[in-house]
């Protein structure tokens, strides 16, 4: 998986949900980056790469082309963040309403 990720470094967004950020770290993509992960894995992630700024209280962190989210359900926050970033507020608000997600900006 690490080699596949490395071949696609020029894409606009590389995203991870929950502990998927560990794969990005192993691929060498996170040095010096701000990231988040599941709160119970934050300490292990920080120990694995001292250059990281692990923001375990954040649901979504965007640094450069890396977008990471906390626990699994934070992936919804991340998806809505990307919709808002790419398509704008109206599209994100409509998407959140459609999926009955109360506050798409919560925890950002």
Which of the residues 15, 16, 17, 18 is marked catalytic? 18
| Separation of alpha carbons 35 and 14, rounded Å | 12
Whether 15 is a known active-site residue: answer: no
- Cβ atoms of residues 106 and 73 within 8 Å: no
| Separation of alpha carbons 91 and 34, rounded Å | 27
Label residue 81 exposed, middle or buried (CB < 10 Å: 0-12, 13-18, 19+): buried
Instruction: Name the residues annotated as catalytic.
Output: 18
């Amino acid at each position: 998986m690490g080699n596949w990720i490395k071949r696609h470094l020029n894409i606009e967004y590389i995203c991870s949900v929950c502990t998927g950020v560990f794969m990005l770290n192993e691929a060498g993509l996170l040095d010096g980056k701000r990231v988040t992960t599941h709160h119970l894995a934050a300490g292990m992630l920080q120990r694995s790469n001292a250059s990281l700024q692990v923001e375990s209280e954040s649901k979504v962190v965007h640094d450069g082309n890396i977008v990471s989210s906390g626990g699994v359900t934070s992936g919804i926050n991340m998806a809505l963040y990307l919709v808002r970033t790419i398509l704008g507020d109206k599209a994100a608000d409509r998407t959140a309403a459609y999926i009955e997600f109360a506050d798409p900006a919560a925890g950002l």
